[in-house]
Amino acid sequence: MGFKEIASFVKIEHTLFSLPFVFIGAYMAGDPTVMQLIWILVAAVGARGLAMGLNRIIDKDIDAANPRTAGRHLASGTMSMKTAWTLCAVFLAMLLLGAGMLNPLCLYLSPIPVLAFVIYPYTKRYTWLCHLWLGLCLGLAPAGAWVAIAADVHGWAAITGLDEGGGNFLWFPTIFFISLGVALWITAFDINYARMDVESDRENGIKSFPARFNDQTTTRTSVQLTLLWFACFAISDPMSEIWFL
């Protein structure tokens, strides 16, 4: 299997789409070196590939039952489960290697996104909040990059320590609103994306928001989430400078 097939399997374009927020998280923590940015990139690509691979594996039967997704690699049989698991192992190794080369705290925290990735495919079987869970998974990316740089200086205090005034955690509001904005942005996007599968989701017991609620409620909720993520970005530095140029 060549690079083109692997890139298609893990939707490499989605990884590229998320990288600006990863690097924003890193620069909000300080002045990262070239090597730190490289290892952040390795960890980010590994995390995104692992998330997509696990999603495809766990959702194989669901994808096969949906006409829109029946042509995906595992659902159509063009990729074996052994190959998919091997790719997941490679991506997990990239995540752990990148995290370990950054600092010990990143390595210690690396099971958190892995657990979030494993849980996500099952949420859609039980609750329409699955879209929010996906948003939270993607919202971890800028937060992780921030920790990658901040923990080099502060260690565990990057998570538990307070700022110089003693009133806020070091990560609030510096990276909090960026991560929350990404989470809400992805939630809104995914709710709208699920509109394509309403009938299939209802037939197969998938608890997507559009399958649970009517089209008007879906539109209204999407608009409300969009206003919220815009507000999060608008009040965050350096995003406020970007939005209001």
Look at residue 239 and tell me whether its pLDDT is greater than 70.
Answer: no
pLDDT of residue 72: 93
Average per-residue pLDDT for the chain: 92
Q: For residue 199, what are its two tokens?
A: 């009938």
pLDDT at 4: 79
Sign of the alpha-carbon dihedral angle for 69, 75, 76, 81 = positive
- 57: pLDDT confidence band, cut at 50, 70 and 90? very high
Q: How large is the average pLDDT for residues 74-96?
A: 96
Mean per-residue pLDDT for 70-84? 94
Q: For 105-128, what is each residue's pLDDT tens digit?
A: 999 999 999 999 999 999 999 999
Split at pLDDT 50, 70, 90, the class of 245 is very low
pLDDT per position as a tens digit, 13-54? 777 778 999 999 999 999 999 999 999 999 999 999 999 999
The DSSP code for 197 is: G
List pLDDT tens digits, range 164-197. Answer: 776 789 999 889 999 999 999 999 999 999 999 9
Measured distance CA(76)–CA(70) in Å, rounded:
6
DSSP 8-state secondary structure symbol assigned to residue 33: -
**How high is the pLDDT of residue 7?**
76
Pick from 8-12, 190-194, 222-226: least confident: 8-12
User: What's the pLDDT at 237?
Assistant: 65
Percent of the chain with pLDDT over 90: 82
What is the rounded distance in angstroms from the CA atom of residue 185 to the CA atom of residue 245? 21
Write down the pLDDT at residue 241: 47
Closest CA to 5 of 117, 80, 59, 93: 80
Per-residue pLDDT, 60: 96
Query: Would you call 24 exposed, middle or buried from its count of C-beta atoms within 10 A (0-12, 13-18, 19+)?
Result: buried
194 CB-contact burial (10 Å; exposed 0-12 / middle 13-18 / buried 19+): buried
The pLDDT, as a whole number, for residue 243 is 46
- Going by pLDDT thresholds of 50, 70 and 90, the confidence category of residue 242 is very low
For the purposes of burial, counting CB atoms within 10 Å of the CB of 204, is it exposed (0-12), middle (13-18) or buried (19 or more)?
Answer: middle
Rg of the chain in Å (alpha carbons): 19
Helix axes 81-102, 130-154, angle to 10 degrees: 30
d(CA 105, CA 1): 35
